[in-house]
Amino acid sequence: MPNVENCVICGRPFGRPELLSKHHLIPKSKGGKNTETILIHNICHQKIHSVFTEKELRDEFHTVKKLVEQEEIVKFVKWISKKDPDFYERNKRMKRK
């Protein structure tokens, strides 16, 4: 069972509750309203949505394993792993919806 005290994307411990969010593995806009969610840091959540389109998330990147294996996310995790759990910075959007 995964450690619910750490983010499943970056592996860092959770910090302040207001810097956490739930990510729908299948986007709500693509039929995932009542599907599985994961609790992750806001910065990790924003990174996911800056890298992938909603369609890509639904069709290909709908598991934690798939997300964390993607090259841009691997680079992000390497960078963010050195930051404090409460570190937050807005991500730039890379792809369209």
If 0-12 CB within 10 Å is exposed, 13-18 middle and 19+ buried, where does residue 83 land? middle
Burial annotation 57-67 (CB, 10 A radius, 16+ → b, else e): bbeebbebeeb
For the chain, which residues make up each domain, given as ranges?
A: 1-97
Q: What is the pLDDT along the chain (97 residues), one digit of tens a residue?
A: 344 689 999 999 998 999 999 999 999 999 989 999 999 999 999 999 999 999 999 999 999 999 999 999 999 999 999 998 888 877 665 555 4
Q: State the maximum Cα–Cα separation within the chain, in Å, rounded to a whole number.
A: 35
**CA torsion sign, 86 to 89 to 94 to 95?**
positive
Residue 88: per-residue pLDDT? 84
